[in-house]
Protein backbone atom coordinates (compact mmCIF):
# COMPACT_ATOMS: atom_id res chain seq x y z
CA UNK A 1 0.00 0.00 0.00
CA UNK A 2 1.08 3.54 -0.56
CA UNK A 3 1.86 5.72 2.39
CA UNK A 4 -0.77 8.14 3.64
CA UNK A 5 1.14 10.42 5.99
CA UNK A 6 -1.08 12.48 8.28
CA UNK A 7 -0.61 14.55 11.46
CA UNK A 8 -2.18 13.69 14.82
CA UNK A 9 -4.59 16.39 15.96
CA UNK A 10 -3.50 16.06 19.61
CA UNK A 11 0.28 15.54 19.67
CA UNK A 12 1.21 16.73 16.16
CA UNK A 13 3.20 13.59 15.37
CA UNK A 14 3.23 12.36 11.77
CA UNK A 15 2.16 8.77 11.14
CA UNK A 16 0.93 6.54 8.33
CA UNK A 17 -2.87 6.39 8.46
CA UNK A 18 -2.84 3.01 6.68
CA UNK A 19 -0.94 1.43 9.58
CA UNK A 20 -3.28 2.54 12.34
CA UNK A 21 -4.82 5.51 14.00
CA UNK A 22 -8.29 6.96 14.13
CA UNK A 23 -10.20 9.23 11.74
CA UNK A 24 -12.82 11.69 12.96
CA UNK A 25 -15.25 12.27 10.10
CA UNK A 26 -16.85 15.34 11.67
CA UNK A 27 -13.60 17.28 12.03
CA UNK A 28 -11.89 15.39 9.18
CA UNK A 29 -8.75 14.98 11.32
CA UNK A 30 -6.62 12.01 12.32
CA UNK A 31 -5.48 10.81 15.73
CA UNK A 32 -2.49 8.52 16.34
CA UNK A 33 -2.93 5.20 18.19
CA UNK A 34 -1.52 6.36 21.53
CA UNK A 35 -3.57 9.59 21.61
CA UNK A 36 -6.66 7.67 20.44
CA UNK A 37 -6.31 5.13 23.23
CA UNK A 38 -5.82 7.92 25.76
CA UNK A 39 -8.88 9.77 24.43
CA UNK A 40 -11.00 6.59 24.62
CA UNK A 41 -9.82 5.96 28.19
CA UNK A 42 -10.63 9.56 29.20
CA UNK A 43 -14.07 9.29 27.57
CA UNK A 44 -14.74 6.05 29.47
CA UNK A 45 -13.73 7.70 32.75
CA UNK A 46 -15.87 10.73 31.94
CA UNK A 47 -18.89 8.49 31.31
CA UNK A 48 -18.22 6.63 34.58
CA UNK A 49 -17.97 9.95 36.45
CA UNK A 50 -21.29 11.08 34.98
CA UNK A 51 -22.89 7.75 35.90
CA UNK A 52 -21.48 7.99 39.44
CA UNK A 53 -22.87 11.51 39.85
CA UNK A 54 -26.27 10.38 38.58
CA UNK A 55 -26.66 6.95 40.21
CA UNK A 56 -23.99 6.91 42.91
CA UNK A 57 -22.04 4.02 41.39
CA UNK A 58 -19.33 3.71 38.74
CA UNK A 59 -20.46 0.35 37.42
CA UNK A 60 -23.07 0.27 34.71
CA UNK A 61 -26.53 -1.09 35.35
CA UNK A 62 -25.85 -4.02 33.01
CA UNK A 63 -22.69 -4.96 34.92
CA UNK A 64 -24.61 -4.84 38.20
CA UNK A 65 -27.37 -7.08 36.88
CA UNK A 66 -24.84 -9.53 35.38
CA UNK A 67 -22.96 -9.84 38.69
CA UNK A 68 -26.17 -10.47 40.61
CA UNK A 69 -27.46 -12.99 38.06
CA UNK A 70 -24.22 -14.98 37.94
CA UNK A 71 -24.04 -14.88 41.74
CA UNK A 72 -27.59 -16.25 41.97
CA UNK A 73 -26.68 -19.03 39.51
CA UNK A 74 -23.62 -19.97 41.59
CA UNK A 75 -25.65 -19.86 44.80
CA UNK A 76 -28.52 -22.07 43.61
CA UNK A 77 -26.36 -24.42 41.53
CA UNK A 78 -24.18 -25.15 44.54
CA UNK A 79 -26.97 -27.18 46.15
CA UNK A 80 -26.85 -29.69 43.31
CA UNK A 81 -23.17 -30.57 43.74
CA UNK A 82 -23.78 -33.19 46.40
CA UNK A 83 -20.72 -32.50 48.53
CA UNK A 84 -20.58 -30.18 51.52
CA UNK A 85 -17.41 -28.47 50.28
CA UNK A 86 -18.98 -27.74 46.89
CA UNK A 87 -22.13 -26.36 48.47
CA UNK A 88 -20.19 -24.07 50.80
CA UNK A 89 -17.84 -22.91 48.03
CA UNK A 90 -20.72 -22.23 45.65
CA UNK A 91 -22.63 -20.33 48.31
CA UNK A 92 -19.59 -18.19 49.18
CA UNK A 93 -18.83 -17.41 45.53
CA UNK A 94 -22.50 -16.68 44.79
CA UNK A 95 -22.98 -14.40 47.79
CA UNK A 96 -19.69 -12.62 47.02
CA UNK A 97 -20.82 -11.91 43.45
CA UNK A 98 -24.20 -10.68 44.65
CA UNK A 99 -22.51 -8.41 47.20
CA UNK A 100 -20.07 -7.16 44.52
CA UNK A 101 -23.04 -6.15 42.39
CA UNK A 102 -25.22 -4.67 45.13
CA UNK A 103 -22.78 -2.86 47.44
CA UNK A 104 -21.81 -0.09 44.97
CA UNK A 105 -25.52 0.64 44.63
CA UNK A 106 -26.28 0.44 48.37
CA UNK A 107 -23.30 2.35 49.81
CA UNK A 108 -24.21 5.87 48.58
CA UNK A 109 -27.74 5.42 49.88
CA UNK A 110 -26.51 4.24 53.28
CA UNK A 111 -24.05 7.14 53.49
CA UNK A 112 -26.79 9.63 52.61
CA UNK A 113 -29.03 8.16 55.32
CA UNK A 114 -26.22 8.33 57.89
CA UNK A 115 -25.49 11.95 56.96
CA UNK A 116 -29.19 12.85 57.24
CA UNK A 117 -29.39 11.14 60.65
CA UNK A 118 -26.24 12.97 61.81
CA UNK A 119 -27.65 16.32 60.67
CA UNK A 120 -30.95 15.64 62.44
CA UNK A 121 -29.10 14.68 65.63
CA UNK A 122 -26.95 17.82 65.40
CA UNK A 123 -30.04 19.99 64.91
CA UNK A 124 -31.76 18.35 67.90
CA UNK A 125 -28.64 18.83 70.05
CA UNK A 126 -28.44 22.49 69.03
CA UNK A 127 -32.12 23.02 69.87
CA UNK A 128 -31.60 21.32 73.24
CA UNK A 129 -28.53 23.46 73.90
CA UNK A 130 -30.42 26.65 73.07
CA UNK A 131 -33.39 25.64 75.21
CA UNK A 132 -31.18 24.97 78.23
CA UNK A 133 -28.74 27.85 77.68
CA UNK A 134 -28.36 30.27 80.58
CA UNK A 135 -30.73 33.25 80.24
CA UNK A 136 -31.36 36.45 82.15
CA UNK A 137 -34.85 36.94 83.49
CA UNK A 138 -36.31 40.25 82.24
CA UNK A 139 -38.46 40.61 85.36
CA UNK A 140 -36.00 39.97 88.21
CA UNK A 141 -32.58 39.88 86.45
CA UNK A 142 -31.69 36.39 87.73
CA UNK A 143 -29.50 34.04 85.70
CA UNK A 144 -31.60 30.93 85.05
CA UNK A 145 -32.35 28.16 82.54
CA UNK A 146 -35.50 26.76 80.96
CA UNK A 147 -38.65 28.48 79.72
CA UNK A 148 -39.69 30.12 83.00
CA UNK A 149 -37.62 31.87 85.63
CA UNK A 150 -36.83 29.59 88.57
CA UNK A 151 -37.15 32.49 91.02
CA UNK A 152 -40.07 34.66 89.98
CA UNK A 153 -41.87 32.39 87.41
CA UNK A 154 -41.83 34.97 84.59
CA UNK A 155 -41.58 33.58 81.04
CA UNK A 156 -38.03 33.79 79.61
CA UNK A 157 -37.29 35.05 76.07
CA UNK A 158 -36.20 32.46 73.50
Q: Is residue 1 predicted with pLDDT exceeding 70?
A: no
Asked if 34 and 21 touch (Cβ cutoff 8 Å), the reply is no
Q: What is the tens place of the pLDDT at every residue in 79-101?
A: 988 889 999 999 999 999 999 88
Any idea where the domains of the chain sit in the sequence?
Answer: 1-55
Distance CA 60, CA 105 (A): 10
Burial of 147 (0-12, 13-18, 19+ CB in 10 A): exposed
Q: Is residue 109 predicted with pLDDT exceeding 70?
A: yes
* Nearest by Cα to 73 from 53, 98, 47: 98
Q: Which of 23-27, 75-79, 125-129 has the highest mean pLDDT?
A: 75-79
Distance CA 68, CA 89 (A): 17
Burial of 17 (0-12, 13-18, 19+ CB in 10 A): middle
Amino acid sequence: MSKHIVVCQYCGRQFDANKGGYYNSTSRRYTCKSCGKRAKKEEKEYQADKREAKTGMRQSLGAMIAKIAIGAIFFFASFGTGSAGGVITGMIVGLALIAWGLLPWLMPRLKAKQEADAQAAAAAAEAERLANAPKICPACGAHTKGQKCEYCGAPLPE
